[in-house]
Amino acid sequence: MKHILLVEDDFDYASVLKQYLEFSGFKVSWKKNGKEALESLPVTKPDICILDVMMPQMDGFTLAEKIVDQFPETPFVFLTAKSLQQDKIKGLKLGADDYIVKPFEVEELILRIGNILKRSQKIEEKVLEQNFTIGSYIFDYENYLLKHETITHRITEKEAQLIVFLHANRNKLIKREEILREIWGNEDFFSGRSMDVFISRLRKYFKEDSTISISSVRGLGFEFKINN
């Protein structure tokens, strides 16, 4: 049974949503604000978090930043009454796996949660070794670490998934839509913007090794090259 951490300050809304999710076969822990949720994470250890954006004490964006920093292996989805483009982009840049605007059908949320968990499991099953080398780096997928000599980067789950996919398709053209379908689950505008942010992060992580490059092929996609 997959465990969901639901963070929502609206009592009535959260109660109904929790019941629907439990009826669909999930275990659900419900917290009323970001501060409570953050304190509970070491104990609840959820498979995925559902975060409302507008909350007292600690808003969803701030909570997401702390999840990425302290629990990078935990995927999260934003729920919000806002539909502003800049809010969606901000959420996806933080590493959100999805962004759902209220009101929505609960069946849609359940479907999206299921797809996120399936993608995570599918990618993890492809990693036969817990540690492998990428150029002069050591990639520790299980612990979300990318190491280069004295430098260690703690990366997020989505960054780790993207590294696995790029490495598996190294030294050839990888189309944008292939990456979006595999890692983000869709090819919409917001996911594309999010992907570009993540690619930029990976370029910074791999800058210590001049034999590794991530090149953009205009209008097509990317090439993850290892010249050794």
Question: Which pLDDT score is estimated for 8?
Answer: 93
**Strand ranges for the chain from DSSP E:** 3-7, 27-31, 48-52, 76-80, 98-101, 131-134, 137-140, 145-148, 151-154, 173-175, 212-217, 221-226
Instruction: Tell me: pLDDT of 147 over 90.
Output: yes
pLDDT band at 143 (very low <50, low <70, confident <90, very high): confident
Closest CA relative to residue 49, chosen from 107, 68, 195: 68
Please spell the DSSP secondary structure of 132-150, one letter per residue. EEETTEEEETTTTEEEETT
Instruction: Tell me: pLDDT of 196 over 70.
Output: yes
Phi first, then psi: give them for residue 93, nearest 5 degrees.
-65, -30
Instruction: Tell me: pLDDT of 182 over 60.
Output: yes
Question: Which pLDDT score is estimated for 26?
Answer: 94
Please indicate whether residue 37 or residue 119 has the higher confidence score (pLDDT): 37
Instruction: Tell me: pLDDT of 120 over 80.
Output: no
Question: Which pLDDT score is estimated for 84?
Answer: 67
Question: Which pLDDT score is estimated for 14?
Answer: 92
The mean-pLDDT minimum among 20-29, 64-73, 187-196 falls in 187-196
Tell me the C-alpha distance between 155 and 146, whole Å: 7
pLDDT band at 111 (very low <50, low <70, confident <90, very high): confident
Instruction: Tell me: pLDDT of 125 over 70.
Output: no
Q: Cis check for the bond before 103: say yes or no (omega within 30 of 0).
A: yes
Tell me the C-alpha distance between 173 and 122, whole Å: 22
- One-letter amino acid for residue 106 of the chain: V
Mean pLDDT rounded to a whole number for the chain: 88
pLDDT band at 123 (very low <50, low <70, confident <90, very high): low
Please spell the DSSP secondary structure of 76-87, one letter per residue. EEEEES---HHH
pLDDT band at 192 (very low <50, low <70, confident <90, very high): confident
Q: Taking the model in full, what pTM does it have?
A: 0.71
